[in-house]
Structure 1
Amino acid sequence: MSGTDLFKVIRGGCVLDIAKHQANPADLLIRDNRIAEIMAPGAAAPAQAESIDASECLIVPGLINAHTHSHGGLAKGSGDRWPLELLLNASSWLSANRTTEHMYLSSLVGALEMVRKGCTACYDLYLELPLPSAEGVEAVAQAYRDVGMRAVVAPMTADYTFYQAIPGLLDALPNAQRQQMEAIRMQPGETIIAACRTLLDQVSFDRSRLCLALAPTIPLHCTDDLIIAHRDLAREYDVGLHMHLAESKVQAVSGLKRYGKTLTAHLDGLGFLGPNFTAAHAVWLDTGDIRRLADRGASVAHNAGSNLRLGSGIAAAYDMVQAGVNVGIGTDGANCSDNQNMFEAMRFASFVSRVRSQDYERWLQAEQVLRMATEGSAKALGFGDDVGRLTPGYKADLVFLNLNHVNYLPLNDAVHQLVHTE
């Protein structure tokens, strides 16, 4: 202990013990923003420690959003009976022509909602057209700084349009419309990679709070050359990779048609899967796909709410967990999931597992879901050794919940009530 250490002591609260499903009275000693000790109520603390009163509060680890889109913040409530493919077609008019101020404000709206609903970190796949820029990513990052969240910020990229991505779609269009769609072009892959390299060279973050990652958006929307170039760039700069994988039936069937194998198998063949890779959605996977993800140490961001909203299906999250895949929980963007409420995302994740299987032994347990939304998401973001647990040595990213709220009266099982009533 040195004279420059900064101490806080949080007194009077009930600290969640996930394994025991209990919340018992305890004090927390915080040293330099890390949990130093979980102490008996009233235990001695350093004289210089700032005291924080947490009376009648349930103290839990901050929830972590494994998949969102900050550009969706200004587009919430757009579209009703839209499946994924209609949303993708609308993405340009929903999110293009944004100034850096628009990007900042859209990110700020989402970050504020996440923090107010118990989320302290997120993996943000943001969209900037025609190319990601240092100014754009700085605008997004500044919103998270101003709110006080941790974030991994990844620009989404693609070198195929939607109409090029789906085999046979252009040929199915009337001639005039086909000509219009053929005239639309994304930026060339070389230009995209050059822009991403510039970001990685020019933008410097405190990596304990903000990180850059890369997000070639959807396999079908990217040439193999672009996917491989992202893979190599991620290795060179030691950053994460995030991609929407087999989110819809259209994507799954189109992948088989284009590649002659599943999308996951194709990415595996390109050497894209690994511990730094997070697959968003992963709805339309077979058992071999799940095994590949587990064997490669990859993560999945389970977005049950948006999968329901878009009618995409129900991911086999229980099977993934049993196979050893690291699974986190995400809200997805406000343009396709409307709110950024991680408590609701947990509830959806729990409940949809009970629809997918009639065998109740194959339903996700509340404890599994809570760990997915904390430890699992933290690992997906690359923060797994620092956040996601209420344990000495971990960052004190804490959420205080009112034990007098009707959700916790009576407090029968703290874990169940966090997942299912908050």
Structure 2
Amino acid sequence: MAIVIRDAEVITMDAATGSTPVTRSIRIEDGLIAEIGASVTLRDTDTVLNGRDRLVCPGFVNAHTHSWEYLAKGRYDNLPLELWMLYSYPILGAAPLPPDLVRLRSLLFAVESVRSGVTTLVDDVLETPSQDFAQLDAVFDAYDTVGVRANISGHVINRPFIDTVPYAAQWLPSEVAERVRSAPLLSAGEYLDFSAEAFRRYAGRAGGRLRYMLAPSGPQRCTDDLLAGATELALEHDAECHIHVLETKTQAVTGREFYGTTLVEHLRRIGALSANTTLAHGIWATDADIDTLAEYDVCVSHNPVSNLKLGSGIAPWRRYHDAGVTLGLGSDGCSSSDTPRLPEVIKAAALLHKVTGPGHETWPTADEVLRAATLGGARSARLHPDVGSLEVGKKADLLVYDLSTLAFTPRNRLDLQLVYSENGSSLRQVMIGGELVVEDGRVTTVDEDALLAELRERLPGIQAEQDRVERENTVFHEAFERMYRACAAEDVGVHRWSGEPAPVAPGM
């Protein structure tokens, strides 16, 4: 049985019409878009949906997020990334999360995501103190149940955390530094073996809807052999290799102090850049870095809400576009942006870069922002042959909005209203692989009320454990505060807090 959406306003994001709405009908068979045009085939057995007063567009791709932060939503404020990480990514004292709680956390994260129009997640999953297959199985099981499409990682840090930033270790008590450095860490070989097994274990999961990806945390947090090996393994499996790079000014200083160059150039030198690589953030990139990323066809996931919340800076949006670097959009984690909902990210991306300079002709267009939220994210996830636009042969991952709502009143330019006016309240249906996973604002695949009730019952114990771990990790705060302020005062050749190039002193 096929599904036909008749005579809707459609944003296809294809090469012909892009983000310009056009009146189209869509025929969906076996989870794929079989026809799209002014008219399509109709059969007696078809389920026909009236598209009048409806806007249909591709599902959104959240190109960088951390579902594992879901339980820490709304806990922190006014902390820059390196200080925030002391509590949200604790160095000491965290106990392994049981798989049943990982599954509950992942179910809730997926529910909130799909209800806002996210059909594909690039989920950089990290567990503390380390990840095992029982925990990873729980994430795959949860996403299989909800019906979302996802790349799911084994995130890894294999250097002592106090040695992943400059200066801080010298200001820590020696016994604290020794305790951190004595903790067991994965070798490159152990992580690559784990990942090779994950590719075997999850191959074809949910008909290919769920895929494993590699996620070395960052060049300063992983050994060179792990970074290069992860890049090679990703190419072997045509999987994404997802790396945090140049998220903060501290990381720009780290590249210079650790490697005598930028972190992007270091990755290039060790063979850790490829068309399968996505850099999360990429704020403090130099012009030379951006040219290198374009040369290697590397993608960048832009996370404006999280970057603003953590005071990390403003990514060079126009410079990336001009260089031909593919941009996706990400919410980042629920502990740094406090939401997995991509409509907020889309609007923030469209607005943020209007304040980085007076040249209004360089400001983001609605088409560019929607492209990043759909095709750009799909390309970064290595899923662009299947999702990101509404075209014949692609997966039927799509959103249906009600145009009779206040968000679309008066009905003017629907693409602009989708970016600036709509916050998810007009979303009526979400389809992933031809299956309706959201109908009239409710997820059809799980009992959301039961999930919320379970979390409420367990929350006191969860929060008590979070409080305990946070207290234990305050021991690092003073040293990391000094490190952060020292790095903030240094000249790294770019000034990404305003998005403008750093001023050059006379004679330089």
State whether TM-score is above 0.5. Answer: yes
CA-CA distance at 1:258 after TM superposition? 0.5
Q: Output aligned runs, 1:176-325, within 5 Å.
A: 176-206=175-205, 208-325=208-325
Which residue of structure 1 aligns with residue 86 of structure 2?
89
Looking at structure 2, the residues matched to 421 and 373 of structure 1 have their Cα atoms a distance apart, in angstroms, of 16
What does the per-residue CA deviation read over 1:179-224, in whole Å, with 9 as the maximum and x for residues that have no partner?
4434444333333333223322333334631111100001111111
What does the per-residue CA deviation read over 1:34-65, in whole Å, with 9 as the maximum and x for residues that have no partner?
22222436x65122222223442211111111
Which residue of structure 2 aligns with residue 382 of structure 1?
382
Structure 2 residue 140 is the aligned partner of structure 1 residue 141: yes
What SS does the corresponding residue of 2:300 show, helix, strand or coil? strand
What does the per-residue CA deviation read over 1:213-240, in whole Å, with 9 as the maximum and x for residues that have no partner?
1000011111112212222332343322
Looking at structure 2, the residues matched to 329 and 202 of structure 1 have their Cα atoms a distance apart, in angstroms, of 29
Looking at structure 1, the residues matched to 12 and 157 of structure 2 have their Cα atoms a distance apart, in angstroms, of 43
Which residue of structure 1 aligns with residue 11 of structure 2?
16
Looking at structure 2, the residues matched to 274 and 20 of structure 1 have their Cα atoms a distance apart, in angstroms, of 27
Which residue of structure 2 aligns with residue 410 of structure 1?
410
Compare 166-175 and 82-91 and name the one that shifted more.
166-175
Looking at structure 2, the residues matched to 407 and 158 of structure 1 have their Cα atoms a distance apart, in angstroms, of 43
What does the per-residue CA deviation read over 1:315-364, in whole Å, with 9 as the maximum and x for residues that have no partner?
01221111011111111111111111111111111111112222112211
What SS does the corresponding residue of 1:355 show, helix, strand or coil? coil
**CA 1:137–1:156: 2 relative to 1, 3 Å:** same
Alignment check: 8 A CA contact 2:158 2:187 kept? yes
**1:285 aligned partner, one-letter code:** A
Alignment check: 8 A CA contact 1:327 1:377 kept? yes
When normalised by structure 2's length, the TM-score is 0.78
Looking at structure 1, the residues matched to 348 and 419 of structure 2 have their Cα atoms a distance apart, in angstroms, of 9
Looking at structure 1, the residues matched to 110 and 170 of structure 2 have their Cα atoms a distance apart, in angstroms, of 42
**CA 1:61–1:71: 2 relative to 1, 3 Å:** same
What does the per-residue CA deviation read over 1:269-312, in whole Å, with 9 as the maximum and x for residues that have no partner?
11111110000000000011111111101111000110001100
- Percent identity, aligned pairs only? 35
Runs of 4+, deviation exceeding 6 Å:
none
Which residue of structure 1 aligns with residue 351 of structure 2?
351
**CA 1:34–1:120: 2 relative to 1, 3 Å:** same
Structure 2 residue 21 is the aligned partner of structure 1 residue 26: no
Which residue of structure 1 aligns with residue 107 of structure 2?
108
Alignment check: 8 A CA contact 1:89 1:162 kept? no
**CA 1:411–1:22: 2 relative to 1, 3 Å:** farther
What RMSD, in angstroms, separates the aligned Cα atoms of the two structures? 2.0
Looking at structure 2, the residues matched to 377 and 236 of structure 1 have their Cα atoms a distance apart, in angstroms, of 21
Structure 2 residue 45 is the aligned partner of structure 1 residue 48: yes
CA-CA distance at 1:82 after TM superposition? 1.6
**CA 1:96–1:420: 2 relative to 1, 3 Å:** farther
Which residue of structure 2 aligns with residue 63 of structure 1?
60
**2:64 aligned partner, one-letter code:** H
What does the per-residue CA deviation read over 1:369-415, in whole Å, with 9 as the maximum and x for residues that have no partner?
00110010011111101111122222211101111111111121111
Alignment check: 8 A CA contact 2:231 2:274 kept? no
Alignment check: 8 A CA contact 1:131 1:192 kept? no
When normalised by structure 1's length, the TM-score is 0.93
What SS does the corresponding residue of 2:364 show, helix, strand or coil? coil
Alignment check: 8 A CA contact 2:73 2:339 kept? yes
**2:187 aligned partner, one-letter code:** P
Which residue of structure 1 aligns with residue 119 of structure 2?
120
**CA 1:338–1:95: 2 relative to 1, 3 Å:** farther
Alignment check: 8 A CA contact 2:282 2:302 kept? yes
CA-CA distance at 1:27 after TM superposition? 2.2
Alignment check: 8 A CA contact 1:65 1:377 kept? yes
**CA 1:20–1:124: 2 relative to 1, 3 Å:** closer
Looking at structure 2, the residues matched to 370 and 20 of structure 1 have their Cα atoms a distance apart, in angstroms, of 9
What SS does the corresponding residue of 1:356 show, helix, strand or coil? coil
**CA 1:157–1:57: 2 relative to 1, 3 Å:** same
Which residue of structure 1 aligns with residue 157 of structure 2?
158
**CA 1:15–1:117: 2 relative to 1, 3 Å:** same
What SS does the corresponding residue of 1:151 show, helix, strand or coil? strand
Compare 182-191 and 384-393 and name the one that shifted more.
182-191
Which runs of no fewer than 5 residues in structure 1 stay unpaired?
1-5
What does the per-residue CA deviation read over 1:104-132, in whole Å, with 9 as the maximum and x for residues that have no partner?
11111111111111110011100124443
**CA 1:177–1:265: 2 relative to 1, 3 Å:** same
Alignment check: 8 A CA contact 1:96 1:128 kept? no
Looking at structure 1, the residues matched to 311 and 10 of structure 2 have their Cα atoms a distance apart, in angstroms, of 38
CA-CA distance at 1:92 after TM superposition? 4.0
**2:120 aligned partner, one-letter code:** A
**1:252 aligned partner, one-letter code:** A
Alignment check: 8 A CA contact 1:61 1:397 kept? yes
Alignment check: 8 A CA contact 1:133 1:199 kept? no
Looking at structure 2, the residues matched to 235 and 391 of structure 1 have their Cα atoms a distance apart, in angstroms, of 26
Looking at structure 2, the residues matched to 65 and 125 of structure 1 have their Cα atoms a distance apart, in angstroms, of 11
Looking at structure 2, the residues matched to 197 and 371 of structure 1 have their Cα atoms a distance apart, in angstroms, of 32
Which residue of structure 2 aligns with residue 3 of structure 1?
none
Alignment check: 8 A CA contact 1:66 1:123 kept? yes
Structure 2 residue 171 is the aligned partner of structure 1 residue 172: yes
Looking at structure 1, the residues matched to 18 and 201 of structure 2 have their Cα atoms a distance apart, in angstroms, of 46
Looking at structure 1, the residues matched to 129 and 195 of structure 2 have their Cα atoms a distance apart, in angstroms, of 12
Alignment check: 8 A CA contact 1:12 1:56 kept? no
**1:11 aligned partner, one-letter code:** R
Looking at structure 2, the residues matched to 283 and 250 of structure 1 have their Cα atoms a distance apart, in angstroms, of 11
Which runs of no fewer than 5 residues in structure 2 stay unpaired?
423-508
Looking at structure 1, the residues matched to 25 and 187 of structure 2 have their Cα atoms a distance apart, in angstroms, of 56
**CA 1:70–1:17: 2 relative to 1, 3 Å:** closer
Looking at structure 1, the residues matched to 407 and 192 of structure 2 have their Cα atoms a distance apart, in angstroms, of 49
Looking at structure 2, the residues matched to 66 and 17 of structure 1 have their Cα atoms a distance apart, in angstroms, of 19
Alignment check: 8 A CA contact 1:303 1:332 kept? yes
Compare 275-284 and 43-52 and name the one that shifted more.
43-52
Looking at structure 2, the residues matched to 315 and 183 of structure 1 have their Cα atoms a distance apart, in angstroms, of 36
Looking at structure 2, the residues matched to 33 and 278 of structure 1 have their Cα atoms a distance apart, in angstroms, of 28
Equivalenced residues, count: 416
Looking at structure 1, the residues matched to 114 and 88 of structure 2 have their Cα atoms a distance apart, in angstroms, of 26
